[in-house]
Structure 1
Amino acid sequence: MKHVKKVSRRTRAVTGGALVAAVALGGFGAYSANASSPAPAARAAVAADASNKDLTQSTHLTVDAAGRAAQAALDAARKDNQRVTVAVVDRNGNTIVTLRGDGAGPQSYESAEKKAYTAVSWNAPTSELAERLKQAPNLKDIPGTLFLAGGAPVTAKNAPVAGIGVAGAPSGDLDEKYARAGVAALGK
């Protein structure tokens, strides 16, 4: 029979705390590495890849720009005393930033992300896409989409690079007004 040493509660707590801290710091380091500008070696690799005909490049919104757009949309809603959530997704539909305003309903978080995803996927405001449902009702069956007004695409050279979704105002028209305020903040 193998002898197993009992570990005190204090030792388990300290070890568990150290493990949580290590994981948190590792995650922060990964986030920091992803949020920073590319290193010179990475820029050189991109330049070398530009001549490779088997590869393609795309334009993406920076974390700073996404944060600025989300804050502008949230500020526009606050000005009208609306409690909303704002989400910004990249060209691939991945969430870059989500800001949940004070008092925003719990449903608004997921709705804002889905509206942003829908807007960037079709490169059109979600209010226009909601109208398309009349001719193609099966569009609503596409996973991750939400065909309600409140999403606006962000474009560069007429190509979608991001989507901004807002949810929580009493109407989709207001949600979309705030999403467009986020888009407008990027042009400044």
Structure 2
Amino acid sequence: MTNTKKFLAAAAAVVAAGTVGVVAAHAAAPAEAAGAAPKAAVATDPAGGDLNRSTHLSVAAALKAARASLEAAGKEGQKVSVAVVDRNGNTLVTLRGDGAGPQSYVSAEKKAFTAVSWNAPTSVLVGRLSQTPNLKDIPGTLFLPGGAPVQVGGAPVAAVGVAGAPSGDLDEKFARAGVAALGKAAE
């Protein structure tokens, strides 16, 4: 059976089982499959600036932050949604609290995306709209209080966004509770 047929059979088995997951396959070049040495990799010089390192929040840490935000909101009787995004603005975790409005889910993600994009709380960014009103036209952003960046050494590594409380100040208070739950990782 060829590698392609093996992959297709494995993929079909996953789909047939109704499992949601990731299937990975490695198709070796014919020479490598026969046991020949692989071709040399392209040489890069990490010290020469060819590679960058970045710090990303783990899913476990993102979940911890989201739960802390939901708990803080719950203690005040608020029904909110929480989103945590990574350094690139990709959603890691989104939790919609019991009774949170349908719009809060998307708003929380956009607030988190906005906070990490500018490495600033969204309440601060709202003030910048008076100087540059077209900022609000950038896709995926929402310039309302409720987003707080997670920083390490002053650089953004993630952000927490909260939406659904009756005021942006409350949303942001709960977002900051999520950041605070990360402890020393969030300076």
Q: Counterpart of 1:95?
A: 91
Q: How far apart, CA to CA, are the structure 2 residues paired with 1:185 and 1:176?
A: 14
User: What CA distance in whole angstroms lies between the structure 2 residues aligned with 1:181 and 1:56?
Assistant: 31
What is the rounded CA distance, in whole Å, between the counterparts of 2:55 and 2:15 in structure 1? 38
Q: Is 1:150 aligned to residue 130 of structure 2?
A: no
C-alpha deviation, 1:53, in angstroms: 1.9
Tell me the residue number matched to 2:112: 116
Letter in 2 for 1:82: Q
List structure 1 segments (4+ residues) > 4 angstroms apart after TM superposition. none
Identity of aligned residues (%): 71
Please provide the CA RMSD for this pair.
Answer: 2.1
5+ unaligned residues in a row in structure 2: which ranges? 1-11, 25-43
Corresponding position of 1:68? 64
CA distance in 1, matches of 2:19, 2:92: 21
Map Cα deviations across residues 128-149 of structure 1 (whole Å, 9 max, x no partner): 1011101110100101000000
Aligned partners of 1:124, 1:178: CA distance in 2, in Å?
A: 16
Q: Which runs of 5+ in 1 are unaligned?
A: 1-15, 31-47
Q: Do structure 1's residue 173 and structure 2's residue 164 form an aligned pair?
A: no
1:79-127: CA deviation from partner (whole Å, max 9, x where unpaired): 0000000000000000000011000000000000000000000000001
Q: TM-score, normalised by structure 1?
A: 0.76
2:131 aligns with: 135
- Deviation for aligned residue 1:21: 2.3
What TM-score comes out, normalization by structure 2 length? Answer: 0.77
SS in 2 for 1:124: coil
**Count of residue pairs the alignment pairs up:** 154
Hey, what's the Cα distance between the residues in 2 that align with 1:61 and 1:49? 27
